[in-house]
Chains A and B, each alone.
Chain A
Amino acid sequence: MGAIRLEKVKKTFGTLDVIPGVDLDINDGEFVVFVGPSGCGKSTLLRLIAGLEDVTDGKILINGTDVANEAPAKRGLSMVFQSYALYPHMTVYNNIAFGLKMAGESKEVIEEKVQSAAKILNLTDYLERRPGALSGGQRQRVAIGRAIVRNPAAFLFDEPLSNLDAALRVNMRLEITGLHQELKTTMIYVTHDQVEAMTMADKIVVLQAGRVEQVGKPMELYNNPTNKFVAGFIGSPKMNFLGGELAKKYDCHEIGIRPEHFAVSTEKGEIPATVKIAEHLGAETYLHVEADGLGPMTVRATGEIPLGEHDKIFLTPEQDRIHRFDAQGLALAKS
């Protein structure tokens, strides 16, 4: 059981207002991902929930009780750190057992819980090793094991996969998702990796400069961003923003079109453009083009298309996929 609710949570470091006031509801069993650009306060918000930083103001409710002034251990949360933060002089077994030992559990209970966590995480053969003798992925699993055994109300992850190589990251991503499905415990996960956010989350929280820009299901954010920041942040490559005459035609200040929402033709279309660079990835092709009178744009076409530098092309946006924004950058209803 772990429903977490933030009410007007504020954090200042000296005079620096890092979190000006966040309200957020996290339901029991939900997988919530915090995303946002570097320095936007994701880690700070997570550490506030964990109790590793004191809130300047506001309430943090876990299952209805305000824990804003409780010690970290009293909150019943577990955290997995980016650096893993394993205890280097203890064996894997003792690393995982440490929290239970501190809680005063008996030897038998500790043994049983550690063994079962080790089994879930494929660590049984490594229990007597020190962290120094493990690979990055194994260390990551030990860190997760340490979090699991305490049977927390919620797991907190701060960019847990950013030290792993690409292939392993994909693996661990699936493992963590699998773990969530198995345990059904609330998880809060900080990342700046789009793909992690989109694939793992039940709910994404987009942060900018300590403010919540939008909260929603991944596809909701993708299809209906409430403002230009979210529209630009979610989705890769980035959404194209076009102003001027074209925007006037759609009766707004600026329009946004995702790179994947164009039809590409060499004969006719709405926007004439010249290819600058073509990136051929096999399954898809990224075209970096210069649109006549509109400036640089990115287009994503499926499959191999035989286009290269200086080729003239015509782009036609999918009409129902055009996002419209007003002068303040807020989204207007789809035309």
Chain B
Amino acid sequence: MSTRASTLTGRIMSAPSIIVLFLWMAVPLGMTIYFSFLRYNLLSPGTEEWIGTLNYEFFLTDPAFFASLTNTLLLVGSVLVITVVGGILLGLMLDQPIFGRGVLRLLVIAPFFIMPTVNALVWKNLLMDPVSGMFAWIASLFGLPAIDWFTNAPLTSIIIMVSWQWLPFAVLILLTALQSLDRDQKEAAQMDGAGPVAIFFYITLPHLSRAITVVVLIETIFLLTVFAEIFVTTGGGPGLATTNIAFLVYTQALLQFDVGGASAGGIVAVILANIVAIFLIRLIGKNLDK
């Protein structure tokens, strides 16, 4: 299958899909880049004109940018830590022959199938509401005051919700990896005098490194663009407390109707995502080519 003719055939056959995919990516990107150099506000149509890098200057010097950059990194970092650690613990538990394991597995996976908006509404109205929420009710059982989650700990609340949403994904990937761990290896370690903790750190964790890498890379891609949970619950507030880059771009474009500024923000977000991606691939990507 590697003669010159077959290589050429392969290229010709795959060309249409590659071209479509390329256009699919390049056209919107090109337009966004183009818009980002225009003064382009939907409230004053017809006044579009080339303003160079002015949009970028405004976006990058806006205090909201640094606040939202911090929020984005905090959100991504915290959710990654929670889901990876929680995923390993739950995976270890579900890997044991415990009673009702089948049902438990189903329950653990379930949140992944709930769409983010619904997820956010459930947390906001049924669980975290300071008056009628379940957490408030539980607090009242102990005679404690209810916490107004979205006012007092807005970013934490978002982190909790998003973690809940992504934990199943981590569990699923890590559980599969755990199940592929050779029983003999654990037994050999046992014969070598390793206790459960040593087995975890010397045998299980290294075995999981590739799966953890996959979880971190894939989750990062999606977590950089968390939007629905913020939109439905806090609307980016109070103040800028829960505004991430994705939400900031949205406020620019659709609340201030500033297409030029939003495009500049979008491009900045793309560049940031690439920086994070390069950083991650450098850091942990080597785990993938074993």
Contact = CB atoms under 8 A, between A and B. Distances in A.
B182 to A, nearest CB: 7
Contacts of B187: 52, 72, 79, 81, 85
Interface string A239-273: 00000000000000000000000000000000000
Contacts of A86: 185, 188
Given A87-B203, A89-B207, A102 B188 contact: no
Interface in A68-114: 71-73, 77-79, 81-83, 85-90, 98-99, 102-103
A52 B190 CA distance: 8
A86 B185 CA distance: 7
B188 A85 contact: yes
B198 A79 contact: no
Interface in B128-149: none
A102 B203 contact: no
Interface in B200-236: 202-203, 206-207, 209
A150 B190 contact: no
B191 A87 contact: no
A83 B209 CA distance: 22
A50 B202 CA distance: 21
Contact of B193 (A52, A81, A82, A103): A103
B192 interface: yes
A90 B191 CA distance: 17
B206 to A, nearest CB: 4
B192 A102 contact: yes
A71 B203 CA distance: 19
Q: Is the interface of A mostly helix, strand, loop or mixed?
A: loop
Given A81-B184, A83-B184, A89-B207, A102 B194 contact: yes
B267 interface: no
Contact of B198 (A88, A89, A102): A102
Interface string A47-72: 00010100000000000000000011
Interface residues of A, number: 23
A146 interface: yes
Contacts of A102: 192-194, 198
Contacts of B277: none
Given A98-B202, A102-B198, A87 B193 contact: no
A87 B184 contact: no
A78 B192 CA distance: 8
Given A89-B206, A89-B207, A98-B202, A73 B188 contact: no
B54 interface: no
A77 B192 CA distance: 9
Contacts of A71: 190
- Residue from B187, B203, B206 with most neighbouring chain A CB atoms (10 Å): B187
Identify which of B182, B192, B207 gathers the most chain A CB atoms within 10 Å of its CB.
Answer: B192
B82 interface: no
Contacts of A77: 191
Interface in B157-192: 182, 184-185, 187-192
B195 to A, nearest CB: 8
B206 A72 contact: no
Given A81-B184, A98-B202, A87 B189 contact: yes
Nearest to A79: B191
Interface string B113-135: 00000000000000000000000
Given A87-B202, A89-B206, A99 B192 contact: yes
A52 B189 CA distance: 11
Nearest to A98: B192
30 contacts: A50-B191, A52-B187, A52-B191, A71-B190, A72-B191, A77-B191, A79-B188, A79-B191, A81-B184, A81-B188, A82-B184, A83-B182, A85-B182, A85-B184, A85-B185, A85-B188, A87-B185, A87-B188, A87-B189, A87-B202, A87-B206, A89-B206, A90-B206, A98-B189, A98-B192, A98-B194, A99-B193, A102-B193, A103-B193, A146-B192
Given A73-B192, A85-B188, 14 more contacts: A50-B191, A71-B190, A77-B191, A79-B187, A79-B191, A81-B188, A83-B182, A83-B184, A86-B185, A87-B188, A87-B206, A89-B206, A90-B206, A102-B193
Query: Which 6 pairs show the lowest CB-CB distances between chains A and B?
Result: A73-B193, A85-B184, A99-B192, A102-B193, A85-B188, A89-B206
